[in-house]
Amino acid sequence: MEQERLAALHEYRLLDTPPEEELRAVLRVAAMIAGVSSASLNLIDEHRQYQLIRVGGAPIECAREDSMCGVQFESGALVYVPDASENELYQHNPWVDGSQGRLRFYASAPLVTPQGHALGTLCVFDEEPHELTAQQQEHLSDLAGIVIAFFERRRQARLTADLAVAAHTKEQWMDTLLDTVDAAVIACDENYRVTLWNRAARDWHGRTGEGDREASDIAARFGLFEADGVTPVPDHELPLRVALSSASVVTGKEMVIRRPDGDPVYVRVNASPLRGAQDQIVGAVLAQIDVTADRRRRQMIEEARERLAAANAELERSNADLTNFAAAVSHDLIAPLAAVGGYLDLLACEGYPDAVAGSAEVVRMRDVIDGLLADALATRSSGTAATRR
C-alpha cells in the first residue's frame, strides 16, 4: 500500500518543483480562515517531509519521523490539535518540545487523491494555542480538495501533452516507415478523399494525391491502366474504390502506372477497407508492389520461347530438306551406279580382267552412298527428338 502511495506521489511530479502562485494563494486563504499567520503544503515521501509552499516563513524540510503531519495524515481525516503540548501524540515531537520548535496550535487536512492515496497535508499552525470552529475545519478540508484538484489538473495537462508528443512521434515514425518501404501506400477516407500518399506513390505517379477531391476520371489523371498498359482502368474498378464501396478485400490485381516522366511501372495491387470502433467503414487503404522486373522476366521468357519455336520450325524444315536430298541421292546416284555395275559384270563375263576391279569399285561407291544416306536419316531423327523434348 505504501508503495502505491509513493508511486502516486511521484506520478504528480510535485517534489522539489517550484511552487505555483495559485497554491500560494490557497495557503493565504487557509491561514486567514484559521486565523493564524503560518500555513504550508507538506508532501511526505518515504524518508522526509517536504514543504512545497509555506506562508509565514521559509519552507522547511525534515525527516519523516520528525514530521507532525506524518503521524496521522494517512487516516484521511482532518487533524485538529488546539494545544500540541497537551496532546500525547505530539507533546514529545521535536517541533513541539523545543528541539526544533515550540508549536502549540496544529491542524492539517490530508491531500488525498481520487484513488485514495494520501500525498501529504494542508497544514495551519501557530506557537500559541488556538481554537477552530467546525465551519473553519470544514473550510480547511475544502481547501485541501482544491489543492488536490489543482494537482490533478496539472497532471492531466502533462499527460495530455505527453500523449500529444507521443502521437506526434508515432506519426513521424509511421511517416518515416511508409516513406522507406518500396511499395506505394495510399489511403482515403469514407468520402474517397486521399489521406495518405507515401514517397513511392509520389515517385510512381509523378505527383501527390493528398487533398485531391475529384472522384471521377481518376485513371486519366493518375495514369492507371490495365495490365496490357493500354486500357484505362474504369473508376468503379479501381481497387481502392472497390474496397471502399463493397467493403471487400482486393488482392493481386495487376495494373500499369504510366508516369509523366520515366518508364511505366507494372504493379500488383492489394486493397482493404478500414473500419472504425463500431465496425463502420471509415476509409480504405491499398498497397502497390512493383512487379516491373518480374514482368520483364516473364516477357523475356516468352520471347525466348518464341525464338525456340522458330528455331524448331527451321530445324524441321532443314530435316525435311535433308530427307529430300537423301531421296534424290538414292534415285539420282544409286540407280545409274547399278546400271554401271551391270555393264561391268557383262564385261567381266566376256573376259575383260579390268571389269572385275571396276565392279569392286562400284560396290565400294554404293557403300559410301548408303553410309551418307544413313547418317542423314540419323541426323534427322535426333533433331526431331530434340524438338519434341
Q: What is the pLDDT of residue 39?
A: 96
Distance CA 39, CA 62 (A): 16
| Burial bucket for residue 311 (CB in 10 Å: 0-12, 13-18, 19+) | exposed
Q: How far apart are CA 77 and CA 111, in angstroms?
A: 10
Q: Kindly give, in sequence order, each residue whose CB lies less than 8 Å from that of residue 339, ignoring residues fewer than 6 positions away.
A: none
Residue 94 CB-density burial (10 A; 0-12 exposed, 13-18 middle, 19+ buried): middle
For 30-86, the pLDDT digits (tens) are: 999 999 999 999 999 999 999 999 999 999 999 999 999 999 999 999 999 999 999
Instruction: Give pTM, 2 decimals.
Output: 0.51
Contacts of 189 (CB under 8 A, 6+ apart): 195, 282, 283
Fold of the 2-160 domain: Beta-Lactamase (3.30.450)
DSSP letter at 131?
A: -
Below-70 pLDDT ranges, the chain: 16-19, 167-171, 177, 210-215, 326-333, 335, 337, 343-344, 351, 353-359, 372, 375-389
Say if residues 73 and 120 touch (Cβ distance below 8 Å).
Answer: yes
pLDDT at position 379: 62
Residue 170 one-letter amino acid: K
If one looks up domain 182-290 in CATH, what number appears? 3.30.450.20
Write b or e for each residue in 64-88: b if 16 or more Cβ atoms lie within 10 A of its Cβ, otherwise e: eeebbbbbbbeeeebbbbebbbebe
pLDDT of residue 330: 64
Burial class of 306 by CB neighbour count within 10 A (0 to 12, 13 to 18, 19+): exposed
